[in-house]
Structure 1
Amino acid sequence: MEISGYVAADVPATAPAQWTGRGLFTVAFLGIAAGLQLVDFGLQAVSLSAIQQSFQVSDTAIGALQGLAGVLVGSALAIPLARFGDQISRKRMLLCLVVVSSILMAMSGLAPNFPVFFLGRSTAGIAEFAMVPLVYSMIPDLAPGHHRVAANLSFAALMAAGASGGFYFSGALLATASDFFAGSMEPWRKGFMLLSLAGLPLLLLGTITVDPPRLAAVGDTMAGLSLRRFLMRRWRAIGLFVGVAGCLMIAVQALNQLLTLALERRFDAEPAHIGYAIGIILLVTSVGCLPVAGFLDRLMERHFGQAVRPLIMGLSAMLALPAIFWMNTVQTLDGAFVVAGVFLFMTCTANALVPTMLQDLAPPSLRARIFALWSFVVSVFCAAGPLLAGALSDWMFDQHLLEAIIAVAVPALVLSALCAAGSFLQGLRARRPELVPSI
């Protein structure tokens, strides 16, 4: 049945009737492993001023680092790697990605110049791009059908904890790394080196996870359908979905990736202090939004079906608009933290149900590739946010980075809300055509 403009794939017929101990452990491991891929990006965001001084580069270069690095190489390999993930042992592939990620973290700390560092951070994106699609393809095969949304949200919570941990523990991580590694190497370099050592215990834990079989769905009329034919068949709904989530990510990443540097400049604050506060904000907003999104989805689905999900996204994007405007009017650092928290809570709520929407859309035989393709598409939007903000900071706002962030975020949020309205109406029309006139 077509809902919200896309076909909702049924829950696998032979999905587990209840959780197993190894299944729960595997989902937890997947969240921890994916979360650790984001710790180094938090450390990098907090260390931007030190990295900028080390390599003597402009705001545009820093914006490109925060936006494009991780997209160039990782996105190019995302779909080929996901194709392997749809065909070979997903557990074995995940363990290989853990090893690759650890090696690339160490190489980032040893980069002799900015181009090499940029290339290293770009290559490090391979682990994230390949890991997340695999995880979201495994969860429907591990979780009982009625617990799938909860499993997705739990995985997202663990990823959020990793992302916030990179900010929250940045000061302690840099201090520990300076004590652990002797020599005159800069602290941010030692931080990357220390993070690379986490791969060994993670690899050992990964060996005891379960590698679930791929389960076919009841009534899966798209089994054997090629990715190209699938995209052609659902192009309109997919286009609206990309507009909603993609434009939202432009706004989110423009703020998220450059907020530390922007607040450091405006309030002359210590990066470690800002990172500590942002770590708490990211954890509270990223995890706190999940039960809210789940409750709203459950409450409103009876009235709107799966069309409720773009509705939640659009309303959240509109509610985030006042917060981004207020960001430029606050006079204290604590006030800026509060406003950033409101903005991130609303945008995190908007994004919380995106993985479930893609699982509903994707037939099992294409699931990893569709998530990989989405990772590539959304990464382009994510890259655009900080890249545009950094360029505008240099060219139009005389390095007033916060103003540049706002100039990028506001139109992106408006476009996201407009696409969400179109997606909601399309879904509502498919569910209750007599109530929605054609437009």
Structure 2
Amino acid sequence: MALSLDSALSDPRPATSASWTAQGIFTVVFLGIAAGLQMADVGLQAVSLAAIQASFGVSDTALGALQGLAGILIASALAIPLARFADRYSRKRVLLCLIAVSSALMCLSAVAREFPLFFIGRAAAGITEFAMVPLVYSLIPDLAPERHRVSANLGFAALMAAGASGGFYFSDILLSTAGTLFAWPAEPWRKAFLLLGMAGLPLLLLGTLTANPIRHLGMDDRETQGSLLAFLRLRWQAIGLFVGTAGCLITAVQALNQLIALSLQRQFGAATGDIGQAMGLIILLTSVGCLPVAGLLDRKLAGRFGRAVRPLIMGISVIAAIPALFVLTALRTLDQAFVAVGLFLFMTCTANALVPTMLQDLAPASLRARCFAIWSFVVSLFGAAGPLLAGALSEWVFDHHLLGAIVTVALPALAVSALCALGSVHMARRHRNRRALAGEGPQ
């Protein structure tokens, strides 16, 4: 059934859920598991690239296009029109369709005999994965009580991250288990993709038990009338500050994340295996450890700052990350570098943890899925810019001193992010004061 803004806005229901329900909790957990399973195939594919290359006899360029073009840019761009269905029709039906299509495309990847068909299948699977996240962040505000919305967002992010990392960590188990279950002759990576695809069937059955909450629409929905262009015209300043804050942060983080292993190898002459093990542990601890910290800060400070607390925490975290990055090039030992990288990633992960909640605060309920889908595409552009600029500077300016190039790209990006975050704080507090003077109550 299509969304009717007029009827929804005339309904005197509260703006958010008053309390958790058992079905609501189950739905949030299910969403995290479903998104995590979808993301697991990304890790499996990354680990299996050499085998995939041998199966199809393709070049490194083709593999690069598979990982970047098919996996990110095409998928994130085409997920935007798909998110429109989530904004206009039953989100539960869209959710079940995404799970079914994703599972079918994993199976298609397993049986594809030509690389173009495999490429198309993986690009299409990426679309369903990118469409899943906007759908989830559209659902959570209508499932979770307002005071628990940040916790619900962070819990979903943790489950999704666990699934994504599980694709890497358990890749050997997936390959061996699939080889045991499926006796016919085929490459092990094909059997593993088929096993992941078949796991979607029980997930699909469990999905029928999830909630399909009503949309809690507000005045922003009345003002925009479900029009994305109207929303952009109405809130362009806040949108610009949000993009500057989160986008520049992604540029800085990806400049380091994608190139730090190679840069430390060059800087300290360390073995690849030693760096990989240490970075794997650092990334796991920082990406998961930041979640309770971000949630606790949001809960403790929200009463004083309202919605300004989220850009405030983000700005402070970004500023705190700058010294760790600044001293990175001056450190003498690899262990010291690992400590600096860990501090940098912990602070930037803490900042990033609140980005979905900030976008939920900004986007009207009737446009929420599309806003998150567009944001996913914007993130892919900002994220690609970081390692691209750092690599170019390393080659053309820094004589292959990659660590210096990373810092040169990341520092100004972090500075812009912090300034935009503080601008968002000022705007949010001004909006809160206007609402208080108008007798509407602070937010």
TM-score, normalisation: structure 1: 0.79
Q: How far apart in 2 are the matches of 1:180 and 1:336?
A: 44
The one of 41, 55, 60 equivalent to 1:57 is 60
Deviates more, 1:291-300 or 1:85-94: 291-300
Aligned to 1:418: 419
Query: Alignment partner of 1:208: what SS?
Result: coil
1:278-357 to structure 2, matched below 5 A, reads: 280-324=281-325, 338-357=339-358
Deviates more, 1:276-285 or 1:121-130: 276-285
User: Quick one: which amino acid aligns to residue 361 of structure 1?
Assistant: L
User: For residues 108-151 of structure 1, what are the alpha-carbon distances to aligned partners after superposition, in whole Å with 9 as ceiling and x for unaligned?
Assistant: 56677877665554333212221111111111221223322221
Distance 1:18 1:430, change over 3 A: closer
Aligned to 2:272: 269
Are the aligned partners of 2:314 and 2:351 in contact in 1 as well (CA < 8 Å)? yes
Q: How far apart in 2 are the matches of 1:331 and 1:176?
A: 45
Distance 1:215 1:384, change over 3 A: same
User: Quick one: which amino acid aligns to residue 235 of structure 1?
Assistant: W
User: Quick one: which amino acid aligns to residue 356 of structure 1?
Assistant: T
User: Quick one: which amino acid aligns to residue 136 of structure 2?
Assistant: V
Are the aligned partners of 2:79 and 2:128 in contact in 1 as well (CA < 8 Å)? no
User: For residues 246-288 of structure 1, what are the alpha-carbon distances to aligned partners after superposition, in whole Å with 9 as ceiling and x for unaligned?
Assistant: 1111222334455567778864434xx8766655444432232
Aligned to 2:213: 212
Distance 1:115 1:410, change over 3 A: farther
Q: How far apart in 1 are the matches of 2:107 and 2:335?
A: 35
Distance 1:109 1:251, change over 3 A: farther
Query: Alignment partner of 2:377: what SS?
Result: helix
Identity rate, percent: 65
User: Quick one: which amino acid aligns to residue 413 of structure 1?
Assistant: L
User: Quick one: which amino acid aligns to residue 252 of structure 1?
Assistant: V
1:158-237 to structure 2, matched below 5 A, reads: 158-177=159-178, 191-217=192-218, 221-222=222-223, 224-237=225-238
Distance 1:316 1:122, change over 3 A: farther
1:30-179 to structure 2, matched below 5 A, reads: 30-46=31-47, 55-57=58-60, 62=64, 66-108=67-109, 119-177=120-178
Q: How far apart in 1 are the matches of 2:295 and 2:98?
A: 30
Q: How far apart in 2 are the matches of 1:282 and 1:293?
A: 16
C-alpha displacement of 1:107: 4.6
Query: Alignment partner of 2:272: what SS?
Result: coil
User: Quick one: which amino acid aligns to residue 242 of structure 2?
Assistant: F
Are the aligned partners of 2:311 and 2:358 in contact in 1 as well (CA < 8 Å)? no
User: Quick one: which amino acid aligns to residue 255 of structure 2?
Assistant: A
Q: How far apart in 2 are the matches of 1:16 and 1:35?
A: 25
Structure 1 residues not aligned, in runs of 5+:
1-10, 434-439
Distance 1:99 1:343, change over 3 A: farther
Q: How far apart in 2 are the matches of 1:127 and 1:176?
A: 26
Q: CA RMSD in A?
A: 3.9
User: For residues 362-388 of structure 1, what are the alpha-carbon distances to aligned partners after superposition, in whole Å with 9 as ceiling and x for unaligned?
Assistant: 222222222222222222212333444
Query: Alignment partner of 2:88: what SS?
Result: coil
C-alpha displacement of 1:159: 1.6
Q: How far apart in 2 are the matches of 1:232 and 1:121?
A: 36
Deviates more, 1:377-386 or 1:147-156: 377-386
Given the alignment of the two structures, is residue 385 of structure 1 paired with residue 386 of structure 2, yes or no?
A: yes
Are the aligned partners of 1:168 and 1:275 in contact in 2 as well (CA < 8 Å)? no
Q: How far apart in 2 are the matches of 1:167 and 1:400?
A: 29
Distance 1:209 1:416, change over 3 A: same
Query: Alignment partner of 1:304: what SS?
Result: helix
Are the aligned partners of 2:108 and 2:121 in contact in 1 as well (CA < 8 Å)? yes
Aligned to 2:247: 246
Distance 1:207 1:178, change over 3 A: same
Greater C-alpha Rg: 2
Deviates more, 1:212-221 or 1:412-421: 212-221
Query: Alignment partner of 1:76: what SS?
Result: helix
Q: How far apart in 1 are the matches of 2:323 and 2:50?
A: 29
Distance 1:314 1:182, change over 3 A: farther
User: For residues 46-76 of structure 1, what are the alpha-carbon distances to aligned partners after superposition, in whole Å with 9 as ceiling and x for unaligned?
Assistant: 5567778874426x974x6554443333233
C-alpha displacement of 1:304: 3.4
User: Quick one: which amino acid aligns to residue 412 of structure 1?
Assistant: A
C-alpha displacement of 1:199: 1.9
Between structures 1 and 2, the one with greater helix share? 2
Deviates more, 1:284-293 or 1:220-229: 220-229
Distance 1:203 1:407, change over 3 A: farther
Are the aligned partners of 1:98 and 1:203 in contact in 2 as well (CA < 8 Å)? yes
Are the aligned partners of 1:23 and 1:142 in contact in 2 as well (CA < 8 Å)? yes
C-alpha displacement of 1:228: 0.3
Q: How far apart in 1 are the matches of 2:431 and 2:244?
A: 19
Deviates more, 1:176-185 or 1:77-86: 176-185
Q: How far apart in 2 are the matches of 1:288 and 1:232?
A: 38
Deviates more, 1:89-98 or 1:180-189: 180-189
Distance 1:118 1:320, change over 3 A: farther
Aligned to 2:438: none
User: Quick one: which amino acid aligns to residue 127 of structure 1?
Assistant: T
Deviates more, 1:243-252 or 1:333-342: 333-342
TM-score, normalisation: structure 2: 0.78
Are the aligned partners of 2:393 and 2:405 in contact in 1 as well (CA < 8 Å)? yes
C-alpha displacement of 1:405: 4.7
User: Quick one: which amino acid aligns to residue 148 of structure 1?
Assistant: R
Distance 1:191 1:278, change over 3 A: farther
Distance 1:105 1:406, change over 3 A: farther
The structure, 1 or 2, with the larger RCO (C-alpha pairs under 8 Å, 6+ apart) is 1
Are the aligned partners of 2:77 and 2:374 in contact in 1 as well (CA < 8 Å)? no
Are the aligned partners of 1:285 and 1:348 in contact in 2 as well (CA < 8 Å)? yes
